[in-house]
Structure 1
């Protein structure tokens, strides 16, 4: 099995646990991260999406997961494709999260870009439909 195949197998398992646990399998993710992991998101920590702020290091990565679960509840996270080329991996799927303040759900296509070094993730970037996420995070007018 090549290094890329091993990384894909680890990611496939981690995403399945993420889905099955409805976002509670944080330590599975942390085990895949290098100490110098860089995590970024398309929403970049904007109001209503504070969990998505850039993070550096494993402890900060745990902060991402705790902030996410404080604001959102996972409905599902379904992976359709995982494509690896050398140390880079792209993951494509669909996910849905319910905002805990508004009760509204955002379902969106998602793309995650990973870069690995020695079998551990050193860079992660997530893309999703921010318009849907911000709409779900915004309370309806009274």
Structure 2
């Protein structure tokens, strides 16, 4: 079975998508959607747990918009920076840092972030994000009164 190799052009599109995500403070949904196959599978390490409901597993490009709108409803991006892209065949792993402020509690969480992508025919078919869920959950919980 042959696998698609990530081209320099696709890698540049991915870099531009990350730049737009940071520059727009998380409102560049269409840039991400354009990189995705119709049947993409999207997962997050938080897996939809209470306080991080937006992170439920999603399948299909049409469901991804719910991730973005849910994220923005509960969290305000402070920054999202990337440091390194590692390409291996049809996979790209992106290493960086991000910080978000929870809109309900006002608390911020900053974390290293790792995004793992798999591509086929120059479209993303899998995405998985890893970050410090302990910090995110702590920011989502209100302080005791």
Name the structure 2 match of 1:18. Answer: 21
Name the structure 1 match of 2:126. Answer: 123
Output the CA distance in 1 between the equivalents of 2:85 and 2:55: 22
The CA RMSD measured in Å over matched residues stands at 0.9
Which contiguous aligned blocks of 4+ residues in structure 1 show a shift greater than 3 angstroms? none
Name the structure 1 match of 2:11. Answer: 8
Contact 1:4/1:84 (8 A) holds in 2: no
Contact 2:6/2:87 (8 A) holds in 1: no
Name the structure 1 match of 2:138. Answer: 135
User: 1:5: Cα distance to partner?
Assistant: 1.5
User: 1:9: Cα distance to partner?
Assistant: 0.6
Name the structure 2 match of 1:53. Answer: 56
What is the SS of the residue equivalent to 1:45?
Answer: coil
Output the CA distance in 1 between the equivalents of 2:6 and 2:137: 38
What is the SS of the residue equivalent to 1:24?
Answer: coil
Output the CA distance in 1 between the equivalents of 2:104 and 2:6: 42
Contact 1:48/1:137 (8 A) holds in 2: yes
* Cα deviations by residue, 1:35-89 (Å, 9 ceiling, x for unpaired): 0000000000000000110000011111100110111010000000011111000
Output the CA distance in 2 between the equivalents of 1:6 and 1:130: 33
Name the structure 1 match of 2:70. Answer: 67
Output the CA distance in 1 between the equivalents of 2:88 and 2:30: 26
Name the structure 1 match of 2:114. Answer: 111
Name the structure 2 match of 1:38. Answer: 41
| Aligned residue pairs, count | 141
